[in-house]
Structure 1
Amino acid sequence: MFKIGEFSKLCGLSVDTLYHYEKLKILVPITVDKLTGYRYYDASQMMTVNKILALKDAGFVLEEIDNIMNGDVSVPMLIEMLESKAVFLETTLSNEYNRLERLHTNIFLIKNGGISQMNEISIKRVEPILVASIRKVFDKEEFNENLEKMWTSVNEYIDKKGVKRTIPCLMLYNSGWWDLRQLNVMYDEKNLDVEVAEPITKSFEGNKEVHVYELPRVEKMACIVHNGPFSTIDKTIDTLFEWLKNNNYVADGAVREIYHKGEWATDNPDEYITELQIPIK
């Protein structure tokens, strides 16, 4: 048998806690020496300690634990109660995780200056956005192949670092498909200079391929929202470029595509929502 101090070290509960549990009659010493008042516990009582800790960890208060420990609760009944609590906690965690995801998305939207109305052009201020990205220059004919590898690589590296991504992701065209050098839009007849970027919740060390940094604040960002498949996005971006011409603006940075709703949210490409942005001056 163990004195109370020894049992305290064995089970990880303080002496004061053991005294308190004794008063509640949920963990009573095997025997108490009438002369010295020393309390003695048995190693078999570790099972009782484990039950109490499991019930506390499951969210039961001491009054409930008292009723369970001193009531006619069999082991199968106890297991059923704990499993019921586990299901409740799983549901709560799932709801809280979804709430956290919505919060991160809303934070991004605030930084992004909100979302413009469909097919309407607006100018807004965009705050700095922390991202992990990969940037490459490659032949236009190898567009899909390179993008798939880039997205896979950046996401695998973020996961390896144990950092959370947030929705939406985005791409930056440092030189793109559009021969609009009169608008200061960078162009190369053969190659694209493209960056895929995942917004992240905290900074971490990058590597030779993955760059972790803040996209800078843009005071004047021209924006338009495209609703529909990527195959029809050209008309929307042509509308934005035409607006730049008519209003005597030129580009002042990379063209951004922000994917507010894509294949991760719907199986119908007609429901995709993509925001096109161009820093202007």
Structure 2
Amino acid sequence: MFTIGDFARHGRVSVRMLRHYDAVGLLRPAHVDPFSGYRFYEAGQLARLNRVIALKDLGFTLDQVRSIVDDEVGADELRGMLRLRRAELEEAVAAATARLGQVEARLRAIESEGHMSTHDVVVKSLPAVRLAELSAVAASYQPTDIGPVVGSLYQELCARLEAAGVTGFGPALTYYEDAPDGDGAVRAHAGMIVPPGATAPDVDFVELPPVERAATVIHRGPMEDVVSTYQTLTAWTAAHGHRSTGYARELYLESPDDRTRWVTELQEPLAD
């Protein structure tokens, strides 16, 4: 028999944890001295302790662990619990990966602040374009809210155009407007420039009129990093006494699979 201290050392847990397992009925001592109250454990109980630790490390609650180690959970139910836990962990990893990407994008934005010369801004006219488009509302104008919405819109739009036999389309152009319900939400219009006469079911076709004057700047890299480039465009517009007419357009000049090599022209129409 082992004292609680010795058993804790062999099991690589704390004495406090063993007392807690005893209190909740998860791992009772093999013997408790009636006079001193000292707890004693048998070597065979290490196997149960190891199962408890392994199941806890998988993220199961103590109630779930007790049901499993007491054989109250059948094999099929256990497989289901493990699959559910796997799905929860995959979702947590995806969420953490997304947050890591946001942190890295913000760091890049901070490091590049003031590094882009406002001399890179060019004022020019924009021709009229015919777009095949789909639109949806994003919760805000932040890249983290815009990106998933625009990405899914373009996937669906390209699939519908290809199914309709529309060829020769591109490049892609996204433009924005305030969503009717307000509260910071925006409606994103994901469009492909298409030739005259192109049609496809369940796709909207619009004519964007020409723009006499627009401030434009080239953004290189993923759109998650676009904030600093937008800030450069905004600073230039304000410094030169111009007024924007709304949200800037995004013309995707090059969009390979490697998003770090994307080339996007931001186009901000000027009111004066």
TM-score, with length taken from structure 1: 0.48
TM-score, with length taken from structure 2: 0.49
